[in-house]
Amino acid sequence: MNCELTHEWIVTAAYGELPDEQMHELERHMAVCPDCNTEREQLLALKVLASALPVEEPGANLVARARMKLDEALDALPPLRWYELLGQRMMNNFASLQAAPVAACLLLLAGAGAGSLGGYEIAQNRTAHAAATVQTATAAKSAALLPQLAAVQPELASVANISSIVRQPNSEMVEVRYNQLVPQRMQGSLDDPAIRRLLMLASQNSTSAGVRDDSVGLLAAECRAGHSSCRGAGIRDALMVALRYDKNVGVRHKALEGLQPYVAEDVRVRNAVLEALLNDGDPQIRTAAINILEPVEGDTSVRQVLHSVANSDRNPYIRTVSTQILSREPEIQ
């Protein structure tokens, strides 16, 4: 039994939907594969964490964003090469030969030959289509915030993207340059609602890691300073999205720092930090997540995740720190 199939069965088994005969085979594989066993422990810990919260219907914006990210991921898959397309076509055709009469066999063979000639051209067209679709999805994602911008300031309704962010030294003044039909810019205080919304829009700029880093850094600094603008859900949501999905380690680290003041009072922030501890690929971010969780180390969900990490994490330092926190045995919150 290979690990790829095991990963699928682990999820099915966690929700009690795996048949008994497959369950026995899964257990036998777990007994000899520490990697798969670790994954199951993390999944069970995450399930316990999720079950502690009420089930809420996702918002329309979250569903739309998730669909766009799924489309981007699917379109980013490398196209099949011409010989791979040819192999697939031949396998499908030969499978059909077993039940086909002689005349149909001849037609299938002719079709296989004709289809293989166009394989390379199909692969090239698929590459071009994938690039165009990613650009379209990125534009749609940015457009999701435009109605909010227009409600605050009408001239922002035609914002296409954010090109740069500059903060004046030792000042609250920020200059945000953005593109409409021609490049535009706006200058104002960090307390300006239009500036804040532009920064949140910039935090989802998939084309420029530098712009995302600047915007998330400013939003995080606002939250660490305890400004009133972070008391609402908007900026926290932007930081949680950056922590969960941004591919840049520096952006995720700044988002984590910005969420730190709210880990005790906001269970959504706490869950986002726990997900980073379980799943983030950077050890420094996971270590920082452990430190941020110390004020709530007595929470049942936090202790469940720490227990899983202490027993099965590959990083010895993270295992040691998690074990030390668990040894304190604080009161359950």
Where along the chain do its domains lie?
76-141, 145-230
**Burial of 59 per CB tally in 10 Å (0-12, 13-18, 19+):** exposed
Q: Return the closest-CA partner of residue 184 out of 156, 153, 205.
A: 156
Q: Return the closest-CA partner of residue 242 out of 284, 213, 262, 210.
A: 213
Q: How far apart are CA 43 and CA 29, in angstroms?
A: 17
One-letter amino acid for residue 197 of the chain: R
Determine the pLDDT at residue 223: 86
One-letter amino acid for residue 310 of the chain: A
**Beta-carbon count within 10 A of 24 CB:** 10
Determine the pLDDT at residue 256: 92
pLDDT tens for the chain, 333 residues long, are 678 788 888 888 887 788 888 888 888 888 888 888 888 877 777 776 666 566 666 666 666 677 777 877 777 777 766 666 666 666 655 544 444 444 444 444 455 454 444 444 444 454 444 444 444 444 454 555 555 555 555 555 556 678 888 888 888 898 988 776 556 788 888 778 888 788 888 887 767 788 888 888 888 888 888 877 777 667 888 888 889 888 889 999 999 999 988 888 888 888 899 988 888 889 899 989 988 888 887 788 888 888 888 888 888 888 888 888 888 755 444
List the structure tokens of 47.
């399930």
Helices (H), the chain: 3-14, 20-32, 34-51, 60-75, 82-97, 102-117, 119-143, 146-152, 193-202, 209-224, 233-245, 249-259, 267-279, 283-293, 300-312, 316-327
The separation between CA 134 and the C-alpha centre of its own chain, rounded to angstroms, equals 16
Chain length of the chain: 333
